[in-house]
Amino acid sequence: MTVPAWLQALAVASLILGFASAVAIGIDLSRRPQPMWIMNAVWPITALYFGPIAVWWYWTLARAMPRGSSVDHHHQSKRPFWQTIIVEATHCGAGCTLGDVIAEFTIYFTGFSIGASALLTEYAGDFVLAYAFGVVFQYFAIAPMRGLSLLPGLWAAIQADTFSLIAFEVGLFAWMAVMAHLPFHLTPMDPTYWFLMQIGMVIGFATSYPANWFLVRKGVKEPM
């Protein structure tokens, strides 16, 4: 069974909207870079799956003053806690998303397989790379804020990222299991595949939100 034309059109439109949103944020970040530099990568990546919602969050929760401005304009002190956790979850989701995208294309082009199971292979590849990128993203958030050197910073990043990453992947992997049972075959070269992965990443964001709330309340993660 082929992908319905309406679904293909919806997928293309959603992907274009996601890329356009990422570009819009990227252009603004070139003039208004984030105080925490890793967030300059987080916001465009978030826009790839959240589209205009990510633009809205960026504009209302995290937009910095123009480069060279003498005005101290920092959203963190003005946000209610639930909005702070939105920013935390975007940070967690960006590392996961980047790892998942790279893993999916790598598996597709190399033909790598674990136990002849496409879904198991995707789970393994996605988790390993998402975890690696997630720890790196956490390191560049936590280490500067706490003044940690390399090894203590990496350990703090592992502690902060493990639970939230697993929570994100639980949501995404559950959705990928649904995708595996669709009546049409999809590959990473199909727009519909990435449209459905956008949905899975939104679900992952939702399942990681309570985990990030818990980790910030316990002081394992730093509020951003």
pLDDT tens across 36-70, in order? Answer: 999 999 999 999 999 999 999 999 999 987 876 65
Cα–Cα dist 30/203, whole Å: 30
pLDDT value at 16 more than 70? yes
Under the phi-then-psi rule, with left for phi > 0, alpha for psi from -120 to 50, and beta for the rest, what region is 184?
beta
Cα–Cα dist 126/103, whole Å: 5
> Comparing 97-111, 120-134, 140-154, which segment has the lowest mean pLDDT?
140-154
Helix (H, G, I), strand (E, B) or coil at 38: coil
Average pLDDT of span 144-171 = 93
Average pLDDT of span 29-41 = 95
Whole-Å CA distances, 134 to 23, 54, 75, 131, 190: 22, 19, 23, 5, 26
Task: Please name the amino acid found at residue 98.
Answer: L
- Model-level pTM? 0.92
pLDDT-derived band of residue 77, with 50, 70 and 90 as boundaries? low
pLDDT-derived band of residue 72, with 50, 70 and 90 as boundaries? very low
Q: Which two tokens stand for residue 206?
A: 């939702």
What is the model's pLDDT at position 1? 79
Instruction: For residue 142, give the nearest of 48, 223, 77 by alpha carbon.
Output: 223
What is the model's pLDDT at position 65? 76
Q: Give me the phi and psi of 133, to 5 degrees please.
A: -65, -35
pLDDT value at 71 more than 60? no
